[in-house]
């Protein structure tokens, strides 16, 4: 785990949590939370930590010879939830990291999001991770991450309709969410990203 690896590397360099916090402009409590896996640093801070200790991000993430090493891609944060009004880069609810290749990374800013619930089943399951590009524009058929009326983000398929939009769940037991163009502005309904990749989990039978 990242927290245990960070602690080992920090202690081997005789740097206290307080000192590391000062270098990174964060509190000692924040460093302690990282090391106990209660929270994780954002990608920029993770890169700074790797630079400070002269190690690779793979090393920080606990990748060893028994696990395939990085192919030189970019590590992006996987978020447990996205609340309205908080910029993606400021969100501290980072539960993991995923690696994307440089070809993908060069096309925009990406983050991972862990799916909560089964509204997109059977293709996207509870606990799966989707890779999302930050953008506010989307086309019919895109799987989008949207914030409705200031609530936490939801993942649905976007459908353009005459006079409005529909956010369509793939699970037929859930209702389609429809909004007029006026409601999109006044509620509001805000698209914050488009899903480009699914990283699912194996089901146990």
Residues 156-196 pLDDT 10s: 999 999 999 999 999 999 999 999 999 999 999 999 999 99
Q: Indicate which residue of 12, 119, 159, 204 is catalytic.
A: 119
Residues of the chain with CATH 1.10.260.40: 1-67
Determine what percent of the chain is predicted with pLDDT higher than 90: 43
Query: Where residue 64 falls among pLDDT bands split at 50, 70, 90?
Result: low
User: What is the C-alpha to C-alpha distance for residues 62 and 3, in angstroms, rounded to an integer?
Assistant: 9
Across the chain, mean pLDDT equals 84
Mention the CATH class of domain 1-67: mainly alpha
State the chain's maximal CA–CA distance in angstroms: 64
pLDDT for the residue numbered 205: 43
Query: Where residue 67 falls among pLDDT bands split at 50, 70, 90?
Result: very low
Q: What is the DSSP string of 28-95?
A: HHHHHHHHTTS----HHHHHHHHHHHT--HHHHTT--TTSPPP-S-EEEEEES---TTS-GGG---EE
Question: Does residue 156 have an active-site annotation?
Answer: yes
Mean pLDDT of 133-151: 93
What stretch of H or E contains 17? helix 17-24
Question: Does residue 119 have an active-site annotation?
Answer: yes
Q: Indicate which residue of 116, 156, 185, 201 is catalytic.
A: 156
Which CATH code fits 110-199?
2.10.109.10
Mean pLDDT of 34-44: 83
Give the torsion sign (CA, 181, 185, 189, 195). Answer: positive
Residues of the chain with CATH 2.10.109.10: 110-199
pLDDT for the residue numbered 198: 94
- 176 SS3 class: coil
């Amino acid at each position: 785990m990242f927290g245990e690896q960070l602690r080992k590397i920090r202690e081997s360099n005789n740097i206290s949590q307080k000192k590391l916090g000062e270098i990174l402009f964060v509190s000692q409590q924040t460093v302690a939370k990282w090391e106990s896996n209660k929270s994780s640093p954002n990608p920029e801070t993770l890169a700074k930590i790797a630079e400070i200790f002269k190690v690779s991000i793979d090393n920080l993430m606990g990748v060893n010879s028994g696990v395939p090493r990085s192919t030189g891609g970019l590590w992006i944060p996987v978020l447990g939830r996205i609340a309205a009004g908080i910029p993606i880069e400021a969100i501290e609810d980072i539960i993991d990291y995923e690696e994307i290749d440089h070809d993908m990374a060069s096309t925009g800013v990406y983050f991972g999001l862990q799916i909560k619930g089964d509204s997109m089943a059977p293709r996207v399951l509870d606990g799966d991770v989707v890779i999302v590009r930050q953008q506010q524009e989307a086309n019919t058929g895109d799987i989008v991450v949207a914030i409705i009326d200031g609530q936490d983000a939801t993942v649905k398929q976007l459908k353009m309709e005459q006079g409005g939009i529909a956010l369509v769940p793939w699970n037929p037991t859930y209702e389609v969410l429809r909004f007029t163009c006026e409601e999109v502005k006044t509620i509001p309904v805000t698209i914050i990203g488009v899903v480009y990749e699914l990283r699912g989990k194996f089901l146990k039978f």
